[in-house]
């Protein structure tokens, strides 16, 4: 697979949480927001926040900060979240159901339009307002719905086989929650979520905090 | 909250996926693994992999690579995954159940020993082998079990109130899957998972891939 030439991963990953805070201030009637306030809310350094926001092309004004409406538009445009994206979800188990019920996604333009499961008893039911189809209908429904993005929340053992169907049907982006390294053609983007990443961060942070409290930090 | 003085976030986040690949090669009988192979498997640059692994203190040998057993030990020790950690989970809904069923966690020393839910019908049941208690038993069970880490998968509206109980009972690390910025004393570490981060990455990667294919990349 080609190396991805995209802006720094941590910066992109932080943009959604910036967006949440900025929207909150907008709701409260604010017109400007400072990088320092965002930094405080997220326990980051202000310089980091300003660097991250610079990738969206918006520059803050001295003493005033960032114009909120302009900043929200710029972040959403940068992420492609300024229009709704129809997405399908494959694997309507616990994790899939949790994602279908995750209300914040709607704010980010992510619209799960259909789910698929191999369990025939789930076919025809609705989970959090999303219709569930049999996995056998996957290819036909992708064509019918014209979707280009799929969320993969099935068992790892079926991940590659299902990916092959998705790719054949024209899916160009896969948000992969399985632990399988998926083989896809170069035209298809895979974003793999490793749930253990966050746990690694927690463990290392706790260790550092403990060292600091014990006065053993370097 | 104090700024966290810990190794670079992206490096720590990548270590679990390195560990998975290295364990795979170990299973296949390998004694050494090269940074280049790990980089290939994860579509990263080899220099990045070598830098990341350097934080664990292990240096590869020219032409041979890293001694696998030493490297696994070093990563696990760095992450504190060389011994089992008992953890509780609060909120046994879809997401909580998915985490209880996530088998990879066991490999990482994460052992969910009890779950809690406000739904009294769930109390007394077992999900993926984990006993579910009433949320009213939270404080007493934390003391009884002597746990220091909690996974928070409840509804956002109850997040802060539950966090206050956790902190009072002696929890020092919270893996927060709610969208609430939790207020905790400085001695407590919070690792917040923003599910939208991965979606932001997918969107930006797809946009870059499309620009590259259209020859419009900068």
* Nearest of A129, A177, A133 to residue B98 by alpha carbon: A177
Mutate to test the interface with B, among A52, A201, A205 (most CBs of B within 10 A): A201
Q: What's the per-residue H, E or C state across chain B?
A: CCCCCCCCHHHHHHHHHHHHHHHHHHHCCCCEECHHHHHHHHCCCHHHHHHHHHCCCCCCECCCEEEHHHHHHHHHHHHCCCCCEEEEEECCCHHHHHHHCCCHHHHCCEEEEEEEECCCCCCCCEECCEEEEEHHHHHHHHHHHCCCEEEECCCHHHHHHHHHHHHHCCCCEEEECCCCCCCCCCCCEEEECCCHHHHHHHHHHHHHHHHHHCCCCC
Mutate to test the interface with B, among A107, A196, A215 (most CBs of B within 10 A): A196
The better pLDDT of the pair A165, A8 is held by A165
Other C-beta atoms closer than 10 Å to the C-beta of A10 total 14
CB A180 within 8 A of CB A156: yes
CB B58 within 8 A of CB B70: yes
State how far residue A85 is from chain B, nearest Cα, in angstroms. Answer: 10
Residues of each domain in chain A carrying CATH 3.40.50.720: 85-196
State how far residue A97 is from chain B, nearest Cα, in angstroms. Answer: 6
Angle, CA of A125, A131 and A136, to the nearest 5°: 85
CB spacing of B196 vs A43 below 8 angstroms = no
pLDDT tens profile A81-130: 999 999 999 999 999 999 999 988 988 999 999 999 999 999 999 999 99
* Nearest of B34, B102, B155, B38 to residue A178 by alpha carbon: B102
The fourth-level CATH superfamily of domain B85-196 is NAD(P)-binding Rossmann-like Domain (3.40.50.720)
Contact list, A128 vs chain B (CB under 8 Å): none
Q: Is the ipTM of this complex over 0.85?
A: yes
Chain A residue nearest residue B111, CA to CA: A199
pLDDT tens, N- to C-terminus, chain B (218 residues)? 444 455 778 899 999 999 999 999 999 998 999 999 999 988 889 999 999 999 999 988 888 899 999 999 999 999 999 999 999 999 999 999 999 999 889 889 999 999 999 999 999 999 999 999 999 999 999 999 999 999 999 999 999 999 999 999 999 999 999 988 899 999 999 999 988 999 999 999 999 888 887 876 55
pLDDT tens profile A36-47: 999 998 888 999
Classify A158 as helix, strand or coil: helix
Q: A144 Cβ partners below 8 Å, 6+ apart?
A: none
Residues of each domain in chain B carrying CATH 1.10.10.10: 9-78
Query: What's the length of chain A?
Result: 218
Chain A residue nearest residue B41, CA to CA: A181
CB spacing of A199 vs B108 below 8 angstroms = yes
Structure token digits, residue A94: 């616990």
Structure token digits, residue A85: 């994206």
| Residue A89 φ/ψ region, left for φ over 0, alpha for ψ in the -120 to 50 degree band, beta for the rest | beta
Contact list, B3 vs chain A (CB under 8 Å): 43-45
CB A89 within 8 A of CB A115: yes
Q: Residue B46, exposed/middle/buried by CB under 10 A (0-12, 13-18, 19+)?
A: middle
The rounded distance, in Å, linking the Cα atoms of B125 and A11 is 42
What is the predicted pLDDT for the residue at A4?
A: 44
* Nearest of A199, A151, A156, A155 to residue A181 by alpha carbon: A156
CATH level 2 (architecture), domain B9-78: Orthogonal Bundle (1.10)
Structure token digits, residue B170: 């002696």
The residue whose two tokens read 């604010």 is A30
The residue whose two tokens read 């802006």 is A7
CB B178 within 8 A of CB B194: no
Contact list, A205 vs chain B (CB under 8 Å): 4, 6, 173, 189, 191
Contact list, A95 vs chain B (CB under 8 Å): 94-95, 98
The residue whose two tokens read 């965002």 is A38
Q: What average pLDDT is seen over chain A?
A: 92
CB spacing of B208 vs A43 below 8 angstroms = no
Task: Classify domain A9-79 by CATH number.
Answer: 1.10.10.10
Integer angstrom CA distances of residue A108 from A53, B159, B194: 17, 22, 12
CB spacing of B149 vs A175 below 8 angstroms = no
What is the predicted pLDDT for the residue at A74?
A: 96
The band of A2, judged by pLDDT with boundaries at 50, 70 and 90, is very low
Nearest to B208 among A6, A198, A199 (CB): A6
- Give the H or E element holding residue A144: helix A138-145
State how far residue B11 is from chain A, nearest Cα, in angstroms. Answer: 10
Q: Region A66-87: what's the mean pLDDT?
A: 95
């Amino acid at each position: 697979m080609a190396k991805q030439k995209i802006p720094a991963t941590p910066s992109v990953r932080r943009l959604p949480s910036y967006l949440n805070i900025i929207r909150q201030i907008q709701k409260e009637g604010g017109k400007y927001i400072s990088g320092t306030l965002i930094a405080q809310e997220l326990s980051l350094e202000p310089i980091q926040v300003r660097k991250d926001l610079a990738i969206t092309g918006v520059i803050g004004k001295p003493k005033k900060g960032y114009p909120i409406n302009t900043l929200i538009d710029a972040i959403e445009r940068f992420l492609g979240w300024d229009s709704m994206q129809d997405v399908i979800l494959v694997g309507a188990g616990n994790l899939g159901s949790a994602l279908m019920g995750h209300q914040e996604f709607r704010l980010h333009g992510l619209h799960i339009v259909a789910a698929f499961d191999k369990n025939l008893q789930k076919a025809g039911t609705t989970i959090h307002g999303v219709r569930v189809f049999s996995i056998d209908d996957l290819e036909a429904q992708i064509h019918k719905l014209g979707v280009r993005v799929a969320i993969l929340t099935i068992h790892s053992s079926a991940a590659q086989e299902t990916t092959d169907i998705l790719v054949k049907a024209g899916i160009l982006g896969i948000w992969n929650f399985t632990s399988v390294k998926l083989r896809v053609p170069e035209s298809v983007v895979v974003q793999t979520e490793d749930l253990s990443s966050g746990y690694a961060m927690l463990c290392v942070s706790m260790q550092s905090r403990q060292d600091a409290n014990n006065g053993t930090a370097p």
